[in-house]
Structure formats: structure tokens, C-alpha cells
Amino acid sequence: MLFGTHFRYPWLVATAVIVHACFFYAIVAPSCGWLVAVATRFRPKGSEVWLTIDDGPDGEASLRLSEEMSRRGVQATFFVKGRNLQRQPEVGAALVAAGHSLANHTQTHPAHLFWWLRPGPLRHEIDACNEALRSAGVSVIRWFRSPVGLKNIFLEPTLLRRGMRYVGWSVRGKDGVTCNPDDVARRVRSNVSPGAIVLLHEGRERSNEAILRVIDELRERGYSFVIPADEQLV
Ligand SMILES: [Zn+2]
């Protein structure tokens, strides 16, 4: 009978509802920095954007993508799943050799449970992926992005202890579930501006087509692609 006539403390219920709503928002809102500081943009030196590509590496498809990007003189940061990278460290090494950077997107990509992970499993998700990155030849590991941008109350101290920073995004192609290159390119070009962090994905049926389409359209509009320094992130 929480809301019954005998309930004398409606303010308690209201407070509990507000606190839970705030906690829920802090966990699921990708740009919310209440639980961990989130970089959502960078200070550009011109018409620059940072292309970030999640969920790889994806074997031959990643190598073909990298080849096409090299032809265009474009570098990006690949937020990789440690488990994928362990299976194909040579692909990760090829991406690094082509001038791209690799960053941590957890070991197993626990998309539904990330917010609920206790400190031990959370550390494992981050450390195992870092280990896979080191095995692929990445010497400096600076950046982390969680599955679907979810937060976790233990995340900030865990990242700080490892000298890592949480990177979100400012523009996304919404290509994580379905990937129609027309829709992806339209979403990005309508929302992009200098200093934007653009989020795209690998591993879907038309991922390479969508990524290259975004690159070509932004280049036509005068944008260049950079991997910013830590100090540029905001
Ligand atoms: Zn992901």
C-alpha cells in the first residue's frame, strides 16, 4: 500500500523515484559524465573530425577497409573487442602499421550487463583487452569506450588507475544494428561539425561501404580526418 491513504511520506517515494531516474540516466545516456568523465569532442585545428570505428577487427574486411582508407589518406581509431583481436592480432598490427590507432572496447563486449559488472569482472574486461592490444603491438593504450556507451559506477577509478580516458562521441551513424549506407551517411553529414567524434561500426554486412561513403562525403565537404592528442579532447 505504498500509495495508500495511510502513506505519510510521499516525499520519500518522490525522492526514491528521482534518485533511480538519475541513476538510470547516468548509466544509459552516452554523453552523461556523472559516473565517468566522457570526451565527446576535441578542439580542432581546422575542419577536422575524428573517425572512430567500433566492434572490430573484422579480418579481411578490416584489411580491405584499411587499404581503401590509405588510398584516401585517412586514419581512424579502431575501438576493438579484445576477443576479436586475440583471434587476429595480425589484422590489428596491420591497422597500426597503416597509421591507425587501436583502443579498448572491452574483452567480450557485454552489451547488456556492462552497467552491472562488479569491480573484478570490470577489471578483467579492460585488462584482458589491453593485453590483446599489447600482443598486437600497441604500446600506449589511452582510450576506452564501453559497449553501447553504457556506464558503470566502478568505471572511473578503474580507468584512472590505468591512465586511460573514456571516449564517447558527438555524431553517430546508428549503424550498429542495421547498416544502410545512405542512412548512415545522411545522419553523419547532417550532424557533423569541426571537432566532432564520429562513431561508426565494423562487422555488419555493408559496414565498409557505409564507412567509405561517410569518408568520401565529408572529404567532399572539406573535412579532414585526424587522431587528436589527449590534450585536445573535451
Ligand atoms: Zn560496440
Distance, CA 115 to ligand 1 centroid (Å)? Answer: 14
CB atoms within 10 A of CB 22: 12
* The pLDDT value given to residue 35: 83
Predicted pLDDT of residue 13: 87
> Which residues share a beta bridge with 224?
48
Residue that has been written with the C-alpha cell 583502443 in this structure: 103
Round to whole Å and give the CA distance between 134 and 57. 15
Q: With a cut of 50, list the residues of the chain below it in pLDDT.
A: none
What is the per-residue pLDDT for 7? 66
Quote the CA–CA distance of 134 and 37 in Å, as a whole number. Answer: 25
Catalytic residue among 6, 20, 201, 216: 201
- pLDDT for 33 equals 82
Predicted pLDDT of residue 105? 98
Note the pLDDT tens digit of each residue in 73-99: 999 999 999 999 999 999 999 999 999
Q: What residues contact 36, with CB distance under 8 A and at least 6 apart? A: 151, 152, 155, 156, 159, 166
What is the residue extent of each domain of the chain?
1-30, 37-232
Pick the CATH number of 37-232 from 3.40.50.11930, 3.20.20.20, 3.40.640.10, 3.20.20.370: 3.20.20.370
Residue 152 CA, ligand 1 centroid: distance in Å: 15
Active site residue 216: no
Tell me, what's the pLDDT at 20?
Answer: 85
